[in-house]
Amino acid sequence: MAKKGILVVVSGFSGAGKGTIMKNLMSRYGESYGLSVSATTRAPRPGEVDGKDYFFVSKEQFETMISEEKLIEYAKYVDNYYGTPRDFVEKQLEAGKSVILEIEIQGALKVKNKFPDTRLLFVTAPSAEELKNRLVGRGTETQDVIEARLSRAYEESLGIENYDYLVINDDLERCVDHVHSILENECSQRSEENSGDRVSANIDFIKNMRNELLSFSKGE
């Protein structure tokens, strides 16, 4: 019988690189993981594939999924629903894959509440200054948008203590291997080997990051 995987939620600041980490993790260790595919009521965009990018469903179908508790979590944005189908996740877990959900803090805590064994990972840049530099370096956003993202990052930082692990993305290649190591240890019940990565072991770092983000949000 295949080893059952674990449920993992990855969150992080905009600009921290969580999406890039997940893409590289799947590319390098895809046999071990399943990236959760969300259901949505919005129309497919050009090039999007049903079942790969999203499960595209009608509003009626989605609301039926809600009433029948077929979603692990869901939210509504700009008149469209988005949610994580329970059946897809459970099939991946039973197949021995660890399932990764890339969602924000509110959704992460909902998942943890329903599934207490879920592991929560929070991704951050090495410092608030570096986070700001990455956002500016994109060259795709106005100063107002960058400031809004930094302000949002401060608000998100207030919830980091609810997470199990803190992942500092200072070098992409090393970070991807590090995330894989954390999850492998969790699956093998060797979580004590991850003690230095636990949020509880990085409280001073988190406080410093929070103070720096607060100063940015005040325009200092």
Domain borders along the chain are 7-36+97-217
For residue 1, the model assigns a pLDDT of: 44
Backbone angles phi, psi at 84, to 5 degrees: -105, 110
149, pLDDT greater than 90? no
For residue 125, the model assigns a pLDDT of: 96
Q: Token digits for 65?
A: 């999924």
> What pTM, to 2 d.p., does this model score?
0.85
Other residues' Cβ atoms within 10 Å of the Cβ of residue 143: 8
CATH superfamily of 7-36+97-217: P-loop containing nucleotide triphosphate hydrolases (3.40.50.300)
19 pLDDT tier (thresholds 50, 70, 90): confident
Annotated binding site: 12-19
Higher-pLDDT residue of 156, 104: 156
Q: Measured between alpha carbons, how far is 27 from 173 in angstroms, rounded to an integer?
A: 12
Q: What are the pLDDT digits (tens) for 72-115?
A: 999 887 789 989 999 988 888 888 889 999 888 888 988 998 88
Annotated binding site for ATP: 12-19
Q: Which runs of consecutive H residues, i.e. helices, occur in the chain?
A: 18-29, 59-67, 86-94, 105-114, 128-138, 143-157, 172-187, 203-217
3 pLDDT tier (thresholds 50, 70, 90): low
- As a whole number, the mean pLDDT across the chain is 90
For residue 107, the model assigns a pLDDT of: 84
Q: Which runs of consecutive H residues, i.e. helices, occur in 115-202?
A: 128-138, 143-157, 172-187
Amino acid at 131: L
